[in-house]
A and B are shown apart, each in its own frame.
Chain A
């Protein structure tokens, strides 16, 4: 595709449910990043992938958060047993190479009731 796409654009869920957020990076981009944008914490790094490997998971807030990337392309961020504090916009970005410019998707707005 022309840019980074994310789905769904909006997700409303009940506390305690699991959610999956999807990111389709720009074709050919080897690096993929997840960020979270929330009112209380601003924009914060969650995790990045180089290919299918995630060398740095330091930003994941808790063990309820996990992410994977398959085929060096699509990535899924999974949040288990969602809590209200997980409500945020989850942004995905990709770059051609590890030190390249990051291109951001439009984000997924997650609301946990």
Chain B
């Protein structure tokens, strides 16, 4: 079975500050890991994903995440927050073979203040 834990339902940062959204996963098989962003009244957009290879993954909009197997973590970071980053962020895990049934965390709402 697979599961995802996102620590913090809300994270508040100032514009220009570091963004750190935490994700820990549990998986009995090597996982694929994803971060999605959801803007109000919109669907989910893929920010980045880890499948195999390099553990530091770069995504869109300046976000990156590092897969740390020893810590079962896949935290999302961005060096400098922008007002447009305000949204809800979901971490997800799937198996590394076959169909990609995504198991999502509960989401973290990022608030960015001027």
Contacts and interface: CB of A to CB of B under 8 A. Distances in A.
Do A and B form a real pair?
yes
Contacts of B114: none
Interface string A1-28: 0001000000000000000000000000
Given A31-B99, A99-B98, A102-B102, A42 B107 contact: yes
Interface residues of A, number: 26
Interface residues of B, number: 21
Interface of B: 36, 41-46, 49, 90, 92, 97-107
A108 to B, nearest CB: 11
A71 interface: no
10 contacts: A4-B43, A42-B104, A50-B99, A93-B43, A99-B98, A99-B99, A100-B100, A101-B49, A106-B41, A106-B42
B106 A101 contact: no
Interface of A: 4, 31, 33, 35, 42-45, 48, 50, 55-56, 59, 91, 93, 95, 98-107
Which label, helix, strand, loop or mixed, suits the secondary structure of the A interface? strand
Given A43-B90, A99-B97, A101-B49, A107 B103 contact: no
Contacts of A105: 43
B58 to A, nearest CB: 16
A35 B36 CA distance: 14
Contacts of A55: 99
Nearest to A109: B41
Q: Name which of B43, B99, B107 has the most chain A CB atoms within 10 A of its CB.
A: B43
B98 A45 contact: no
A98 B107 contact: no
A61 B15 CA distance: 41
B98 A104 contact: no
Contact of B107 (A43, A48, A59, A93): A43
